[in-house]
Amino acid sequence: MSAKKDDLHSELPSGLRRFNALRPGINLLYSIIFILLSVLCVVPVIFVIIISFTSQSSIARVGYSFVPAEWSAEAYRYIWHLRDFNGFPTVLRSMLNSLSITIVGTLLGLMLISSMGYVLSRPFFRLKKFYTVFVFIPMIFNGGLLATYVVNAQLLHLKNSYFAIILPLACSTFYIMIMATFFRISIPEGIVESGKIDGAGQLRIFLQLVLPISLPSLATIALFLSFGYWNDWYQASLYLESHRHELFPLQYVLINIEKNIQFLANSDMVASTQSGELPTETMRMAIVVITVVPIMFSYPFFQRYFVSGLTVGAIKG
Amino acid sequence: MKKHKWSKDDQQLILLSLPTVIWFVLFCYLPMFGLIIAFKHYQVAPGKGFLYSLFFNSQWNGFENFRFLFANNRDITIAMFRNTIGYNLLFILLDILVPVSLAVMMRNLRSRMLAKVAQTAMFLPHFLSWIVVGYFVFAFLSTDHGLINRFLTALGAAPVSWYQSEAAGYWPWFLIGLHLWKTIGYSMVIYLSSINGIDTEMYEAAMIDGAGKWQQTRHITLPMLKPVIVMMFILAAGKIFNSDFGLFYRTTRNSSSLTSVYMTLDVYVYNSIFNNSRPVFGYISAAGALQSVLGLVMMLLANGVVRKLDRDNALF
Amino acid sequence: MKRICILLCLLFTLAGICPASGDTKPVHLTWWIMTSSEAPVDWPEVERALNAYSAEKIGVTCTFKYYDTNQLALVSQTGEYFDIAFTSDYWNDYASNVQAGMFRDLTGDLSLYPALRDSVLDEAWEAVKIQDKIYAIPHMKDIAYEVFWILDENYFYHEKGFPKATDIPFEEIEPYLEAYKQDHPHDYPLRLANGGLTSWRMALADWLVFDALIGLDWEAQGTDQVYTVKSALEIPAFTNRLRKMHEWYLKGYINPDAAVTESMPRSQGGVVQSGQGWFGAETIWANAIQKPVHIARYDGPYISTSSVRGAMTAVSSFTPHWREALALIQLMNTDPWYRETARYGIEGKHYVRNPDGTVTRTQRGNTNMGVEAYTQGHYTLGALEAAAFPGVSTDPDQWTKAMERYQSARPSAVMGFTPDLTEIGIEVLAIRQVIEEYRRELYTGTSDPDRVIPELLTRLREVGLDRVKAEIQKQLDAFVLDR
């Protein structure tokens, strides 16, 4: 896709290219704005990382600081040493669980969302009005926690299964409407028509013609979906029973670690030997780092699709 | 409706949408019977399931559950609705203006490297939960250890108790700033990928016609983005009575002196159920139902406005 | 081969038919129990050990389901099945469950289980009665309110030479605070979270609705006001203490951000801390604070409906197996082996036994077998934990002494009274909300009670305080008359 775009651009006459470029002064202004914004967004994250490597005692003495009095990896060591019943590191196991939930869920979600999005974007579809209302009502009204639980756990029997996490999060009105709008602005009607002339059905047009040119929008939705799955702990807390540790996703495990530590540190009822040394606050930040780092590595994979094509024009043009 | 009017396209499209329709029926429409809890005094029956308890063991109590939303003192109730609507209106406006401008600016940026780095950086805050954000806001605003107060005392100024009523005037600004900071990167992605989806040939044609950057933006980018902007606007209008709970609750540390600044409907509901060993599902449902009905009204209004201005992009 | 065994055993537990000795299949029960996060990681293994034991002893096996507050609300409100459940006034609310008919009336059944009946103090049986019927077994633990100062032993006694006392009234702690502040002007002797001193108001009133601050004045006992329902804000003992806190806040004894501090782990608390407990609990507190401490009582012991109802076990009203359920509860509360295994795990793996009869948890026991032991059954049964901190000892007779104290504790004038809040639910919620707005700053001394309390009372009256008081008063008068 983007390779094809690059070719087109390089064919433009050089005069046009210069004409199209942003004036240097304005470009500088824009650059400064973006650099400032980036710093504003990156600094807190660096702060979180620093705190996660600070020793608990220095936080107790002087609070959070960019230059801690004493460094320590105690929080990470504590998390790493938590073992499940087979002696396997809990963090690793749950990370694998999260990974499989995220991959399966994202693929399933993409399928459900893009197909409905495409259908809704067809201007002459007879049920378009009905479908729009059908998709919109659940955004406004929902049956509430109790009824949802009854349907998922008691009717569909999803308890203690990954489907209880994957299915309810796979689709949403918001994503479908975004997707439909994307399709509306980015698919030239000609493509669909030419497909029909070739005798292709809607399914084939959708799979072979529409999806390949919709990578930016698919990447956007995939990004949102995979974040949703990776960060989920709420569904897990509702549908995975608390003794099924082998099923827990990463976020849920980490939240439980944090709660346990809070409990040990605050409780009067547990005479725990180590409670005085628990790295309560650094742990919280270490948990953020552990969850963010793996998914951050996947970010460039998605970003390729919604930034690269963008600036091609500016560089070459 | 006569059968022969269904075209082959229609049939194939229905087939294509079938999995999603089934999903909506199972996970959205089936549980909707739960809405009637809002109008009942829900009482679980020993040894019986939810359906039996709801339909045969719980009495209708009309709008009694809704009374709970207005049970607090008048000024708090007023603040609650004022904040919910006020912040949301502002957020709807800013969430369109700021990310769209930034996305357009980013498109025109010369350095592809900077665009990539900035885009990644601005997405980072989305990774942090409000609880964590609450902790480092505290690192700045804490009375004795806070970075800002340490700075103030170093300059010889008096430290400020940021979470007490003396600083209440700053907090709306803090909340707006934090909201933008956390959500810009996320909403920018939507606009960026829409821009990226625009057919490049359109820009090339414009360039050949001698259109400059500003003209390209005005005549191609913005018109092409309009459907997305309108969609985001209508979607946001439907959620105007819901609020970003974490923003209002966690960053203010639920401080009593700041209540009038951050009390929203969702915070109110959370406060009433938090640590309550007697489940109050009727009240929660009532709050949800009110949010839904008002949200529906707002969405239809928004859709009506769009219809007046630009028929093509309206939903219904 | 070992793997196959484990797999088979897992399958058996899943199917609920753990292999047992004898020909008849043991009856399988479900027990709901509280957790703040999850079941202990090694619980399945411990449960297998418990089941093998109970199957042989009484022909019963059991699955323990650990739920936090949200999960419990879901399973209980959607009518999922249970045989036995933990209940209290903060988790699986006792009074409303009894009202809904979820719990079995055990009044007559108890005579069949004399060992269980006799393991509970008579006062406690009185406190759990609702309309003269017993619906749950109270756990023997600190069932009377006694609130203590927890003082840094090294600083106050070795360094400053304060005389040791077993009781220090609330106001008389001031010299301790003053001494520390003088030595450390930039630190705070009281380091509090937004709830104020831990458990500071437990024993200040005979609470009827704890969160809504409604109760009876202990000091009114013996006067004509003894049955008058009051807001705590109208009880002098309560408001005076708030005034004292504000005074201390202004003097710099309390950390300035206390009102917006979510939690304060004991290890990070100040040299003066507070807690509800018993003489003997200093072992636990010293372990948590990581310093030797001396404790001195400032309130109590008072025994009341709410102090007893802190931890109970109930039997479901719809189980066909109530006999087995009671037998299992009896086993949990009278059999030391079963009790210790449920509490500490497997000997050798999760804990080791010391020569003096106490136990010490292993590293694995600490991380993989942490339970809230008081939710399972009697806290007084089984081995005590050894002090993990040098210089602190475990008093082996602490519970015998405690139970003696509790028998002579000042009893509530309305033991067993349970207000029915159905008609005033919304008003009670509103009262809680209004209090929630002021609570943090009042309890931490941040705001001035003389300014705030009148305002707070006006607002509480606006949202229906008088109506709530009148309704509870009506019920209380009927209760007293009935008795």
Query: Where is mean pLDDT largest: A273-277, C15-19, C466-470?
Result: C466-470
Which of A200, A210, A143, A141 shows the shortest CA–CA distance to A179? A210
Which of B228, B225, B245, B247 shows the shortest CA–CA distance to B236? B228
Last residue in a domain, options C344, C371, C401: C344
Indicate whether B120 pLDDT > 60. yes
Quick check: B127 and A143 CB within 8 A?
no
Indicate whether C108 pLDDT > 90. yes
Q: A interface mutation test: which of B1, B11, B13 has the most A CBs within 10 A?
A: B13
Residue ranges of B 34-73 with Cβ closer than 8 A to chain A: 34-35, 37, 49-51
Which of C37, C38, C76, A140 shows the shortest CA–CA distance to B281? C76
Indicate whether A140 pLDDT > 50. yes
Q: Any idea which fold B66-129+171-313 has?
A: MetI-like fold (1.10.3720)
Beta strands C27-34 and C84-87, pairing class:
parallel
List CB contacts (< 8 A) between C380 and chain A. none
Entry pTM: 0.89
Q: Is residue A222 part of a domain?
A: yes
pLDDT at A265: 65
CATH number at residue A122: 1.10.3720.10
Which of A145, B277, A188, A34 shows the shortest CA–CA distance to C92? B277
Min mean pLDDT across A170-184, A270-284, B18-32, C449-463 is at: A270-284
Residues C423 and C335 in one domain: no
Q: Is residue A237 part of a domain?
A: yes
Last residue in a domain, options C344, C361, C396: C344
Q: Which two tokens stand for residue C153?
A: 């032993």
Integer distance in angstroms from the first to the last C-alpha of chain A? Answer: 18
Which of A71, A72, A68, A64 shows the shortest CA–CA distance to A44? A64
**Torsion sign across C-alpha atoms C455, C458, C463, C466:** positive
In this prediction, residues B138-158 reach a mean pLDDT of 87
Q: Domain range for residue C119? A: 13-141+308-344
Q: How many CB pairs under 8 A join B and C?
A: 113
C410-411, strands of its sheet edge to edge: C272-276, C145-152, C293-303, C410-411
Indicate whether C15 pLDDT > 50. no
ipTM for this prediction: 0.89
C263 in contact with chain A, both atoms CB, cutoff 8 A: yes
List CB contacts (< 8 A) between C198 and chain A. 268
CA distance C285 to C270: 13
Quick check: A131 and B207 CB within 8 A?
no
pLDDT at B7: 86
CA distance C301 to C202: 11
Domain count within chain A: 1
Indicate whether A155 pLDDT > 60. yes
Query: Tens of pLDDT along B252-262?
Result: 988 888 989 99
Residues C17 and C133 in one domain: yes
Q: Is residue C462 part of a domain?
A: yes
Quick check: B277 and C436 CB within 8 A?
no
Q: Is residue C97 part of a domain?
A: yes
Q: Domain range for residue A159? A: 88-248
pLDDT at A278: 66
pLDDT at B100: 95
Q: Is residue A282 part of a domain?
A: no
- Chain C neighbors (3+ CB pairs < 8 Å): A, B
Q: A interface mutation test: which of B16, B18, B193 has the most A CBs within 10 A?
A: B193
Residue extents of the structural domains in chain B: 66-129+171-313
Q: Is residue A269 part of a domain?
A: no
Query: Tens of pLDDT along C223-237?
Result: 999 999 999 999 999
pLDDT band with cut points at 50, 70 and 90 for residue C338? very high
List CB contacts (< 8 A) between C139 and chain A. none
In this prediction, residues A263-288 reach a mean pLDDT of 65
Strand partners, A54: A71
Q: Is residue A92 part of a domain?
A: yes
DSSP notation for C33-52: EE-SS---TTHHHHHHHHHH
Q: Amino acid identity of C306?
A: S
Residues C337 and C456 in one domain: no
pLDDT band with cut points at 50, 70 and 90 for residue A3? very low
Q: In whole numbers, what is the pLDDT of chain A averaged over residues?
A: 83
Comparing CB atoms, the residue among B108, B117, B192 nearest residue A22 is B108
Quick check: C74 and A146 CB within 8 A?
yes
A234 in contact with chain B, both atoms CB, cutoff 8 A: no
Last residue in a domain, options C290, C317, C344: C344
